[in-house]
Amino acid sequence: MDYKIAIPSYKRPETIKQKTLKLLLDYNINKDLITIFVANKEEEKIYKESLGNNYKIVVGVPTIGRQRNFIEKYYPEGTRLMMFDDDIEKVQRKKRDKLIDVEDLEKDVFYKGFNACEQIEAKTFGIYAAGNPYFMKNRIYTKLCYIIASMFGVIVDHDKFLDRVTNHGEDYEYSIRQYIKNKRLVRLDYLTVKSNYYKEQGGLQEIRTKQYVYDSIYQIQSMFPEFCKMYIRKTTGNAELRLKDMR
């Protein structure tokens, strides 16, 4: 199966080298399949100084939502594209009441995800968002659900309707857009990743504030009231979304 790997990254040259790129190297993924997308020429220079000529680096656009749109337009329609965050430490699967590392990243994740998409004519697949085996299930879920952006696969489609307009919560927005267009998603609920998410420097952390989060989540709810509802999580005070097909 042919596929490509894209990694958007911002102000994290050492993080990407020590985490996602190391992970892919450990699984013997061909470096020629990997492209790193940075926000501007200044970032390109910094990343090249850190990574040398080992990886292809492409200058895209600022902000993660627009960058992901740029990345998908960069590849031809029909490309099987894996998108990784730059701070992934492990890809794991549920085994009874614990998590273990997947044995073969290509076969256990990429191939299974894309094959599941093609069987039901979906265009994107993802993994369980929380690395907690208690909540994970040994199933492939195909209804409206949250496809977290940390690691997901998409069969590239240049339809402008799929373009993200938000940054925080852009993966919620994209999940809804893909579901509206294709009427199904694929989520491998027995897979997850280990990542620091909000704890790393760089990335969306550079602009994320409580108000910024609220405004982004409110915008998504306003665009898609039939498919989501905003609420405030008591433990953090942050705005979040619940996805639900209310048609």
Strand 4-8 vs strand 80-84: parallel, antiparallel, or unpaired? Answer: parallel
Question: How many domains does the chain fold into?
Answer: 1
Q: Which domain holds residue 224?
A: 4-243
Mean of pLDDT values over 114-131: 97
Asked if the model's pLDDT at residue 91 lies above 70, the reply is yes
What is the reported pLDDT for 245?
Answer: 80
Mean of pLDDT values over 83-100: 97
CATH of the domain at 88: 3.90.550.10
Mean of pLDDT values over 175-197: 94
Mean of pLDDT values over 171-196: 96
Tracing tokens 């940054």 back to the chain, one arrives at 167
Exposure string (b/e) for 12-50, b if CB count within 10 Å is 16 or more?
bbebbbebbbebbeebebeeeebbbbbbeeebbeebbee
Biggest CA–CA distance in the chain, Å, is 51
Question: Sheet of 80-84: strands edge to edge?
Answer: 56-59, 34-38, 4-8, 80-84, 151-155, 124-127, 186-188, 140-141
Asked if the model's pLDDT at residue 94 lies above 90, the reply is yes
What is the reported pLDDT for 234?
Answer: 87
**Predicted confidence (pLDDT) per residue in 194-236, tens digit:** 987 555 554 455 556 889 999 999 999 999 999 999 999 888 8
What is the reported pLDDT for 231?
Answer: 95
Mean of pLDDT values over 232-245: 91
Indicate the burial class of 53 (C-beta count within 10 angstroms; 0-12, 13-18, 19 or more).
exposed
What is the reported pLDDT for 198?
Answer: 54
pTM for the whole thing? 0.93
Asked if the model's pLDDT at residue 240 lies above 90, the reply is yes
pLDDT band (50, 70, 90) for residue 83: very high
Please name which of 108, 110, 94, 152 lies closest in space to residue 127, comparing C-alpha atoms. Answer: 152
| Residue predicted with more confidence, 246 or 14 | 14
Mean of pLDDT values over 185-199: 87
